[in-house]
């Protein structure tokens, strides 16, 4: 059990730091109140997760340890539902109802599309 916790935790640490840095870079470069940074990392994380799911199905040597580090830890730390919901709350408080609908719709549509594309990409490897 301790090994599992350490595997998930190490992947989560790397994913969380990567999310913060990439999201900040994207958001700072857009000069907008629309949460572009979080949207980007959530879609990218979905693409990565779909790719990893496809690899793990295709390749039986993709070990449980790697799945824990990459899929549960890294992707779990890289993508974030809590930030998504808090940013939607901020948009609601600011009266930006259109952006709430746009952000939520894009997050769901692009997230599902990205996870599927990642899965399809894994079939090419």
Which residue, 96, 54, 48, is CA-closest to 73?
A: 48
What does DSSP assign to residue 72?
I
- The torsion of the CA quartet 110, 113, 118, 119, rounded to 10 degrees, works out to 150
Q: How many CB atoms lie within 10 A of CB 4?
A: 12
Provide the residue range defining the domain that includes 91.
Answer: 2-124
- pLDDT at residue 36, as a whole number: 95
For 61-113, what is each residue's pLDDT tens digit? 889 999 999 999 999 999 988 889 989 999 999 999 999 999 999 999 999 99
Q: Identify which of 64, 73, 56 has the alpha carbon closest to the alpha carbon of residue 18.
A: 73
Number of domains in the chain: 1
**Secondary structure letter of residue 80 according to DSSP:** -
- Positive or negative torsion for Cα 83, 86, 91, 92: positive
Distance CA 33, CA 19 (A): 18
Give residue-wise pLDDT tens across range 24-61. 999 999 988 899 999 999 999 999 999 999 999 998 88
**Is 0.85 surpassed by the pTM of this model?**
yes
């Amino acid at each position: 059990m301790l090994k599992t916790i350490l595997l998930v935790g190490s992947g989560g640490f790397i994913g969380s730091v990567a999310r913060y840095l990439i999201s900040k870079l994207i958001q700072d470069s857009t000069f907008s109140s629309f949460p572009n940074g979080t949207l980007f990392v959530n879609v990218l994380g979905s693409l990565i997760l779909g790719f990893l799911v496809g690899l793990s199905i295709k390749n039986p040597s993709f070990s449980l340890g790697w799945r824990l580090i990459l899929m549960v830890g890294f992707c779990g730390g890289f993508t974030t539902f809590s930030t998504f919901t808090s940013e939607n709350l901020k948009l609601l408080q600011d009266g930006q109802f259109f952006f709430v609908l746009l952000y939520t719709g894009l997050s769901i549509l692009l997230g599902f599309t990205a996870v599927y594309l990642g899965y399809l990409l894994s079939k090419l490897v």
